[in-house]
A and B are shown apart, each in its own frame.
Chain A
Amino acid sequence: MKKIFNSFIAVCSLIFISCGDYQIPQSVSIKTDADYNFSVGSIEQDLSSFLNIKTISEKLNSSISEGNKNAFSSFSVYDYRPPLTDSGTQSQKFLAEVKLQEIPVDISEYLSNMDISTSLKEQSFEQQFTIPSLSVDSLSSDLELPDFNEIIQTNSQINLPSDSIIIPGALNGSIDPTTITVNIKSPEFSSISFYEGNIQVSIKTDMDPHGSEVSATLRLLDSDGNLISSASNKITNKGTFLLPIDGKTLKTNMKLELSGTQSGGILGESLSYKIECLFSAIKIKEIKGLKMDLGEQGKLSVDQNIYIGTDDTFVSCVIGEGSLFAIAKIPETWKGIYSVPDLTIEGALKKSDGSSIVESDFNKTDENLPYILNRNLNLEGCTFSKEPKAINVKGTVQIKLDDVNGADIYLEQDTTGLNKIKVDTTCSITEIQSIIIDTAKAGIQDKLSFKDEQELPPEINTYVDNVILTKAGIEGTYTNTLPQGNDFTAEFSSNFLFSSPTPKSQVFSNGENLPLNEELINTTENTIKFSESSKIDYALQIKLPGATSEHPEYAQFNNVKIGETYKIAINIKPVFDWKSITINTAASGIQLDQTIETDFNLSAMFKDISSSFGDDDFFKKIELTQMPLYLYFSCPSQLDVLKNIEYKGILKFVCGDENLYVVGEGKNGIEEDGTLNFRTSKPLEFENSSEESQIVISDISKYPNSYYGNLADMVNSTKNIQDSKLIIEYCLRISDSKNEEKDKITISKSDFEQIKADTSTSTISIFARIIIPLEMEITKQIDLNINKLANLNEDTDIFNRTEAPDLSEIMKYAQIVESMSVSYNSENKFFNYQNDSSKSLQFIFNTGMTNLTTNVYGEKGDLNLKNGTIKIVYEDIKKILEQYPFTPKMTVRLPEGNVYLPQDPSIKISCSIGLSTNGTVKLFGE
């Protein structure tokens, strides 16, 4: 027992021992020993946005397009990535290629590739169009019938054969009841029933009643003496009685009975009273046997517009099959009513002769009661046009009543019901004989005609004396799926090719993919003297049927079906063939002066980069190490007649005051002609064998060339000259080195065909290739401002504070921070130093404060751009936070040396902050 008790006490003690000295907390603190990391972000600049194919191409070509309209060729710019050699670098390079001159030998290929031919091909079209559907239009409208309440109330004549009564004076007692016959004379009817209304009876005398007063009761009785209605009132010199006839039925013959008591007046003087009756505020329920001429009140006006939906291309059509129905029916219970319509149709629907449709054109066979309208109109041969937009049905419907048996009419109490009847009109067009559509709105009109002319390049006009064409014109196929009888024509003209303004034409009848007539090709031998014909002109006109001088955009198609889709298509391309081409040579005194001016200026191109780094003198501190120039003189040299040709004259590159003579030379201000010898050129090789990649992978330094030079020195020497541009000037002539007296060279096609397979070129041309490698020498240390790159204002507090902060609260918590580290790393596609591993880009972080343990980090070169960590101790953190404004400056320093920008150059610096905490910080309490 004792042991058990002791055990129990022990368990209880264990629980209580776990309890301690408890108090309500007076402060709460947190204790931590952690490393928190926070990514601040990245500063990124894609330098390829400043230096890329597009920007260089724009600089090279902007002046060509504006100032040198006669220049045949423009600069093509590519990304140049030749195989890496041992001494080479993976620097970003661009290759610019320009054709300075090009004289075609294969003139047909040349002409086929001209821009005008491209334009002509664009005129090829395939147009499918659907004959617009003419949606059936059904509509209902209300026709208001005559208001019979109004008609009865205004036209009724209640006749009283004896329209006066005599009442004696001073009777002072009951008067003898007086009965008067009432006869509703007009209109003629057998009975009328009312929903509501009154018969107003007026009794009056012209005599002086002398105080006579009758308290009278007036009773309306039917012909059998049965009470219909009654009313009481006093009669002095007059009295008015409203006899209610709500729910009553009246017949033509009735009686009025007057009774009551008389007082006052003069004894022996009787007063004679006139009585008048009329209907007041009546609502008729039914009328039976009504006979009357409704006159103008029965004439109903019809003015209704019918719309037939079409699409925008629809103009008009002649209807093959269609009809228009109009139906209006009076209530079945009505009897003895008929109509006399007189309708015309105007607007969008007309008869074939252009006149309006009149009443007699309708088929009214079924227009009998209960229909007051039941007619149709055969629309065959009628014309439906889009303008005006509506078919207007207009006219009158005269309502008449049966003169013999009279009409029975039943009205709803709510007069908006039966007093209106519905007119249903339906118009449908199911077939058309012909249709006119608007080709402009169908989107094909602008392709139906084409006229253009183009200047020939100056070297053609200058060097080519003449060419004999054996074939010139257009060829291709056409499709016309329209039914027979819908032919269209095309006219093709070219003074240049046909030596005549007379066009050649062809009619396109029904068929698919049929060839164009050979008549559109001039096969007569035609000698073109380029000195006389400096332009190539083309004109093509396609004429669709139905076009008028007023509306050339209209086209009319016959026997087409509504909703059917038809296709017309023409595919054309130019075709040429030639017999021979004759080229002027130097002996004929022919030479060509030409200046190609570009906006190519490296200083300007680097300006954007300079300003983004905040160093406007950036370009002045660098020099290009190389800018190779290759010149090629190319021709189908296998031709005997071209075997000895060469260019003579002067060709130079100019930049500022510097000249680089490629052909000829200049000494002491005197320029002497030189000779450019022929070299077989090789075409460029592109990545993925596609020029669209815009990446050249062949090493053109290994290609044979007619000239090699370096433009770097010229560009460097003029880099400080604002607006110095690269200009190409030349004055050249073609010469036969073996026979300089020869003034013409004629190349026959038969000769050319024999060597064509062995030659890569079919032109005599000069073209240049310029390599622009982004390799340079930094001649003076460059400091790039990273603050500017990150769009951080150097004068503004980096924490965006607007006033000196009160850090007393923050510092309570900041004391938990043991140290802070700012880490950065970069993806180095920025400047790389060539062949000098000791040099690298430095990163410098200058706090701008002098009271720190360290105020400039990286100044000793101990922080490279690739990555690094700046450690800031707690005391410095505190001072930095207290510093206002805190405006540190971040700099990337480029020491002197040879550098290059790698492919797709960019700079990206990522920064993160690490906070090491260790300790306890109080959150609440003292």
Chain B
Amino acid sequence: MKKSKLFIAIISIFTSANIFAYNINIPRRIVEVGFDVSAGMNNNYFAAKDMLKKDLVLDFTQMSKTLPKQGLDINFNSTENFFIDLNLLNGMRFKLSQGLEADGMITIGKDLFDFLSKGNAPNQTLNFDGNLTASLFMFVDLTYGMNIKEWRFEVSPAVYFPIMHAKSKQLSAEFRNTEDGTIGFDVITDAQIFSMINFDNSSSGLQGAAGFDLTASLERKVFNTLQAQAFLRCPIVPGNITYSKGMKSTISYQDTKFLDLVTGNANTEIAQNTEFYDITGQKYYLNRPLHSGVRVAWRPFGKWCTFRGMLGFGVREPFTESAKAYFEYELEADVLLIGIFGFSASSIYKNQIFTNSLGLQFNFRVVELDIAVGVQGSDFFKSFAGTGAVAQVALKFGF
């Protein structure tokens, strides 16, 4: 009996009065101008509570046991977005936004931590490696949205400029110690930077071709309280980068007999060499990540309370040999009391980063201030332990 009542209650919530039917994103102003800034940094091992204490102990044994296979990741991401938004009462929407997106990741291979924690076998050649990537995009989006009967359709063609993309071709270190007492090492850092800015003449402006991608979404209500949306951001034309430069730095110590070192007969000079080189070949083409998925917004009590969910996938550097796919999700609860004071809580996995944040909203119609802080990490559970942090500020004006 109780189960029947509960079922009826749930159904009634999903099928409440028609006045509860709203789009996934409900505009708060007809005309709106504002900016939205967020920045975050995280890693996949060190939690804030481990790092921010009086006596910091790096337990290599624990690190070796706990770190995932790829090693220690350190990520950063940042978005700056300026926008003008026009939301007409008939559901038609025009939005122009312009901004920057930056992200990067440094990976230190797990072999280094294994060595520090466990040691090495006799005569073992030790190899350590790592990885580095960073990208900076500038983009201009133009969003057009409209309602067609019970459907809502939005499309956002975007022009983006891959201002800079950096990646490591090689980050490695090799330490040799053979049975005959020979020791030697090579540390190689080979990084390549692709940029639309001429390294030799930065005043010449951006050189290269902008990329073009298209975001489209289609939504409709499922129930009066539940709105569903399918979306896709798909690169159409990759941006290309004209200028490129490589930098290879090597630090090496030639194989030398240890006994010669002891007797002073060995060359103790460590050779260092850094060279810049031109990357020949074709221009570097780069797309923004592809995103696709399904998003829902559930407003069981009216538009003051929204539960959002998203499940989808992303592909970094799509349509290239370096393409990497991953799943994405968003869970968010958003409450706006009397249309003025709001708060939100969310858990998001996007661009391979878990972000759990809390936000506050102060909406005075003419002006709105949104603030959110959160924790980040590439590991879901550790992200709650403070392996990274993110902050977001948005300020909007309009009427």
Contacts and interface: CB of A to CB of B under 8 A. Distances in A.
Interface of A: 1, 4-5, 7-8, 11-12, 14-15, 18-43, 790-793, 798-800, 823, 910-912, 914-915, 917, 920, 925
28 contacts: A8-B345, A11-B345, A15-B374, A20-B48, A21-B53, A22-B49, A23-B54, A27-B55, A29-B55, A30-B57, A31-B61, A31-B62, A32-B60, A34-B118, A35-B120, A37-B120, A37-B121, A38-B258, A39-B178, A39-B179, A40-B258, A42-B181, A791-B263, A792-B263, A910-B179, A912-B123, A912-B179, A915-B119
Nearest to B62: A31
B58 A31 contact: yes
A14 B384 contact: yes
A11 B117 contact: no
Interface string B239-267: 00000000000000000011101111000
Contacts of A11: 333, 345
B380 to A, nearest CB: 13
Contacts of B58: 28-31
Contact of B60 (A21, A30, A799): A30
B118 A40 contact: no
B54 A27 contact: yes
A11 B356 CA distance: 10
Contacts of A914: 122
A911 B345 CA distance: 62
Interface of B: 47-49, 51-62, 115-124, 177-182, 257-259, 261-264, 301, 305, 333, 335, 343, 345, 356, 358, 374-375, 384-386
Nearest to A908: B180
Contacts of B301: 1, 4
Given A29-B58, A34-B117, A800-B262, A18 B375 contact: yes
A157 to B, nearest CB: 72
A241 B260 CA distance: 94
B375 to A, nearest CB: 7
Nearest to A24: B52
Contacts of B56: 25, 27-29
Contacts of A917: 119
Most chain B beta-carbon contacts within 10 A, residue among A15, A24, A36: A15
Contacts of B51: 25
B259 to A, nearest CB: 5
Interface centre among A7, A20, A792 (most CB of B within 10 A): A20
A18 B57 contact: no
A22 B178 contact: no
Nearest to A918: B61
Contacts of A791: 263
Contacts of A8: 333, 335, 343, 345
A34 B49 contact: no
Contact of B52 (A22, A39, A793): A22
Contacts of B55: 25-27, 29, 925
Contacts of A27: 54-56
A598 to B, nearest CB: 39
B55 to A, nearest CB: 5
B258 A31 contact: no
Contact of B122 (A18, A26, A799, A912): A912
Given A19-B386, A799-B262, 16 more contacts: A1-B301, A4-B301, A8-B343, A15-B384, A18-B375, A21-B53, A23-B52, A23-B54, A30-B60, A32-B61, A35-B120, A39-B122, A39-B123, A41-B180, A792-B263, A925-B55
A41 B52 contact: no
B373 to A, nearest CB: 10
A636 to B, nearest CB: 57
Contact of B179 (A4, A42, A793): A42
A878 B276 CA distance: 47
B356 A15 contact: yes
A23 B358 contact: no
Given A23-B53, A25-B51, A39 B258 contact: yes
Contacts of A35: 118-120
B115 to A, nearest CB: 8
A915 B120 CA distance: 10
Contacts of B261: 800
Given A25-B55, A35-B119, A20 B49 contact: yes
A39 B177 contact: yes
A772 B261 CA distance: 41
SS class, residues of chain B in contact with chain A:
mixed
A30 B60 CA distance: 7
A818 to B, nearest CB: 12
Contacts of A12: 345, 358
Contact of B386 (A18, A30, A33, A800): A18
Contact of A41 (B116, B259, B345): B259
Contacts of A915: 119
Contacts of A823: 122
A32 B116 contact: yes
A38 B178 CA distance: 9
Nearest to A917: B119
Given A14-B384, A18-B375, A22-B48, A31 B57 contact: yes
A40 B259 contact: yes
Residue with the greatest number of chain B CB neighbours at <10 A, chosen from A1, A39, A40, A915: A39
Contacts of B124: 37
A800 B258 CA distance: 12
B335 A39 contact: no
Contacts of A7: 333
Nearest to A7: B333
Contacts of A792: 259, 262-263
A684 to B, nearest CB: 38
Q: Which 3 A-B pairs have the closest CB atoms?
A: A41-B181, A34-B119, A22-B52
Given A18-B385, A19-B48, A39 B259 contact: no
B122 A37 contact: yes
A30 B112 CA distance: 14
A20 B51 CA distance: 11
A43 B179 CA distance: 11
A1 B386 CA distance: 30
Given A15-B375, A800-B263, A920 B57 contact: yes
A25 to B, nearest CB: 4
Contact of A22 (B53, B122, B180): B53
Most chain A C-beta atoms within 10 Å of own C-beta, residue among B57, B62, B264? B57
B325 to A, nearest CB: 29
A27 B55 CA distance: 5
A41 B117 CA distance: 25
Contacts of A5: 335
Contacts of A34: 60-61, 115-119
A32 B117 contact: yes
A793 B61 CA distance: 41
A41 B176 CA distance: 13
Contacts of B343: 8
A37 B119 contact: yes
A38 B386 contact: no
A790 B385 CA distance: 56
Nearest to A19: B386
Name, among A21, A38, A799, A917, the residue most crowded by chain B CB atoms within 10 Å (CB to CB): A38
A421 to B, nearest CB: 53
A917 to B, nearest CB: 8
B259 A790 contact: yes
A12 B360 CA distance: 12
B371 to A, nearest CB: 14
Given A35-B118, A798-B262, A910 B54 contact: no
A611 B120 CA distance: 39
A18 B49 contact: yes
A129 B345 CA distance: 98
B181 A40 contact: yes
Contacts of B264: 800
B48 A41 contact: no
Contact of A25 (B54, B178, B375): B54
B345 A29 contact: no
Contacts of A920: 57
